[in-house]
Structure 1
Amino acid sequence: MSTESANPTYIYKLIPYTAPPPTPLPPALPVSELDQKSGFIHLSTALQIPGTLKHFFTDDPSVYILRIPYSAIEKDIRWESPDAKVCGSRPGESLFPHLYNGLKLGRDEVDSMQAWTRTEGGGWDEALKQAQEWLVL
């Protein structure tokens, strides 16, 4: 995905099971340490989610996924290359959407949320397959 390509319908925020989002969502969720250090909120497109799960959630038994309408936050998105020092090269995944809005992400930005659980001893393939209709490009 780049600024020259068609914009996605949704972008996604992955949250570890150790930091479950409150229900209902508040106006602003707690910000991860990585997002705080970076000064922006790390997001993924639907096509980037498998790689993000592989690199950052390999040992997590479950994960929360927030679906965010792109049009609602488009003005605060910058499409940037992932930091290869963190997880190595991610060929084919292109640029990542980063949200620069003062680290605010909550009920006003999020369309819906799902909790995914990976198969015991396996990867995220089954969860991704079950979420196929919910993951919109």
Structure 2
Amino acid sequence: MRRIYKICSASAWREAERQGVYRGSADDTRDGFIHFSTALQVAETARKHFFGQTGLFLVEVDADALGDALRWEPSRNDELFPHLYGDLDLGVVTAVRDMHARSDGYHDIPELTP
């Protein structure tokens, strides 16, 4: 099983749990897909898009279970990033972790499985 990761606010994730589906952030809606990162991309994504933010979750997803709705497309530094064209079914989520913000604005990133 390949894993991909989504950083989102705890409040947005709790709402997804209530609804049974995650539809993405405002940025995701604007871009037409849900942005994910690989294990190797999470730290840079956190630094670039979530620096200094608290109350975040790191959501781990079974990429293989997403089928054709998941596309690998070039983004930052021409790296391929996973983009989900559609809603995220919570049944493919394998873990949800707190992302602890440090006093310097960076986040402690747990050891992740690719």
- Which TM-score band (shorter chain)? 0.7 to 0.9
- 3-state DSSP of counterpart to 1:36: helix
| Bigger fraction of residues in strand | 2
Is 2:109 aligned against 1:116?
Answer: no
User: Deviations 1:76-97 (Å, cap 9, x if unpaired)?
Assistant: 1111122xxxxxxx43x71100
Going from structure 1 to structure 2, the CA distance change for 1:98 and 1:62 (only over 3 Å counts) comes to same
- 3-state DSSP of counterpart to 1:22: helix
The percentage of counterpart residues that share the same residue type is 27
TM-score (norm 2): 0.85
Whole-Å separation in 2 of the counterparts to 1:36 and 1:24: 15
2:35 matched to which residue of 1?
42
1:97 matched to which residue of 2?
82
The number of residue pairs the alignment matches comes to 113
Whole-Å separation in 1 of the counterparts to 2:15 and 2:9: 15
Is 2:6 aligned against 1:21?
Answer: no
Runs of 5+ in structure 1 lacking a partner?
A: 1-7, 83-89
Q: What is the letter of the counterpart of residue 79 of structure 2?
A: S
Whole-Å separation in 2 of the counterparts to 1:59 and 1:115: 14
Larger Rg, first or second structure (1 or 2): 1
| Bigger fraction of residues in helix | 2
Runs of 5+ in structure 2 lacking a partner?
A: none
TM-score (norm 1): 0.72
1:136 matched to which residue of 2?
113
Whole-Å separation in 2 of the counterparts to 1:56 and 1:24: 21
CA RMSD of the aligned region, Å? 2.2
